[in-house]
Structure 1
Amino acid sequence: MNRFAGQVVVVTGTAQGIGRATAERMFAEGAEVVLVDRSEVVHEVAGGLLAGGRKAHGLIADLEEYTGAIEVMSEAHGLHGGIDVLVNTVGGTIWAKPYEHYPPEQIEAEVRRSLFPTLWSCRAVLPYLIAQGRGTIVNVSSVATRGINRVPYAAAKGGVNAITTALAMEAAEHGIRVVATAPGGTEAPPRRIARGPAPEGDQERAWYQQIVDQTVDSTLLGRYGTVDEQAAAIAFLASPEASYITGSVLPVAGGDLG
């Protein structure tokens, strides 16, 4: 398919996981892709995307900070003269434990990781989309808004859902769609950049296993998904085929609706 031919697509969180799979798929479907991550691995991933004279650009930015989002959207716009699609995938659980065991600094870190990159990136890209009178934002939330042992992460992803529905109402008059996917448990290649410390001790490993068990038990299909299954849903929502969809959060979780 060539659904994104001639379109400029910015994908955040592209060093690995769902973000990388999404960037690769968009590129394969004809997009001019700008990959964003705070790890230098993003340059390696971007360097591997070459086809028909097209190449991807990798940019490093800390999207937990507003200045990082502003700078990267400005640079992406300068490279291509426009931005057609923004996909926000940055986020992920850092710790896994019952809420009463989270110290305040970890709660704040979870929210910074999984809410602010989307909040800032939407704000940073919006003036460009409004000026051109069109565009699509696809946020990546999570069905873990209804899950155990990660209340701060759930709160952050609930915020992503709220950004999606509220911004869709504001942006529609400018020809801008805002949508989201809500992934369930997703198998991915081994992480090259860790989200946080590995579980320490039997108790922390047991808390993490509770998440795994609850995730599988909540799906009708009884399994984790793949990064390609997540990227396929994101690409659909970003594509012209979804032109009459906005303000929606699509669960991609084997029947778990979150």
Structure 2
Amino acid sequence: MIFPDRFKGQVMVVTGAAQGIGRGVATRAAAEGANVVLADRADFTAQIAAQINAQGPGQAHAVTADLETYEGAQTVMRAAFEAFGGIDILVTGVGGAIRMRPFTAFEPAQIEAEIQRSLFPTLWACHAVVPHLRQRGGGVIVNISSNATRGIHRVPYSAAKGGVNALTASLAMELAGQNIRVVAAAPGGTEAPPRRIARNPEGDSDEEKAWMAQAVAQVTDSTMMGRYGSLGEQVGPILFLASRDAGYVTASTLVVAGGDTG
């Protein structure tokens, strides 16, 4: 469901916007009037922005950056300011488990990579956007967490997303007096088109594929609804949190996982 003009006159930065939930958020926000900045490392991000610009009414600007670095986050926020004159809303969509395996089967470098992928992009983006929100007189940060703070074969990823939840609560307390809300959405398993950038560029071994299947089964079995959610079922709650309708909601993490609270 589209709510016309809900974000009219507002500028929204969406990280991880080239595919999946991030792309869905950016596309629908623009349809509801937002000017959106699509930030991603993918070289096809500009194609997504062009599609949004062709549909309107909001306009889109693409920025290619490595959000796992602070320099990348600064680049994105600076580009948003230059393109649209300010930032009102940040949605942090970068993250995702790289590997699924029992905790003791993770190598130290693999653990570090999971934390780097699913915690630091949110941490850096929040740090880089706050001065822009202050300049605007307030704003909203919606962090994309996960209900997989409890789940098998992804302990490092779970730890990273637990960090996102803690970041959300602490930053909300720190910024509440500055008219800045900080909230999070915690999606469960979600049906999405095939990824154009591989989750694990090294590919999965047969053993890892078996571990993945076990994790997928656990996710489905843990939901009351017994199924994965759709992209639309994730995008809607995220945009509600970003909107003025959620003006009295801060420091909260909304779990959107068919009854599995994680």
Partner of residue 49, structure 2: 46
Tell me what 1:122 maps to.
Answer: 126
Partner residue, 1:155: 159
Per-residue CA distance 1:100-138 (angstroms, 9 max, x = gap): 000011000000000000000000000111222210000
Amino acid in the other structure paired with 2:186 = A
Which string of whole-angstrom CA distances, capped at 9 and with x for unpartnered residues, describes residues 70-106 of structure 1?
Answer: 1110110121111010000100000000000000110
Give the distance between the partners of 1:242 and 1:13, measured in 2 at CA.
23
The percent of aligned pairs where both chains have the same amino acid is 58
Q: Residue 54 of structure 1: CA displacement? A: 4.4
How much has 1:204 moved relative to structure 2?
Answer: 1.6
- Counting only pairs closer than 5 Å after superposition, residues 194-213 of structure 1 correspond to structure 2 as 194-196=198-200, 197-201=202-206, 203-213=207-217
After TM superposition, the score normalised by the length of structure 2 is 0.96
| CA displacement 1:19-64 (0-9 Å, x = unmatched) | 0001011011110011000011110100101245643111001010
Match of 1:27 among 22, 27, 30: 30
Structure 2: tracts of 5 or more residues without a match: none
Question: Contact 2:30 / 2:56 at 8 angstroms: preserved in 1?
Answer: no
Partner of 1:66: 70
The answer for unaligned runs of 5 or more in structure 1 is: none
Cα distance in 1 between the residues matched to 2:208 and 2:60:
40
Partner of 1:219: 223
Range that drifts further, 226-235 or 44-53: 44-53
- Amino acid aligned to 2:196: R
Structure 1 residue corresponding to 2:148, chosen from 130, 144, 150: 144
Alignment correspondent of 2:104: 100
Give the root-mean-square deviation of aligned CA atoms: 1.0
In structure 1, C-alpha distance between the alignment counterparts of 2:107 and 2:138, rounded to whole Å: 43
Q: Partners of 1:79 and 1:170 in 2: how far apart?
A: 28
* Matches of 1:54 and 1:248, distance apart in 2: 28
Which secondary structure state, in structure 1, belongs to the residue aligned with residue 14 of structure 2? Answer: strand
Per-residue CA shift, 1:209-234, capped at 9, x if unaligned? 11111101110110000111111110
Aligned length: 257
* Matched letter for residue 225 of structure 1: G
What is the distance in 1 between the residues matched to 2:168 and 2:82?
A: 26
The alignment partner of 1:71 has SS state of: helix
Alignment of 1:242-253 (within 5 A): 242-253=246-257
Amino acid at match of 1:42: T
Letter in 1 for 2:249: I
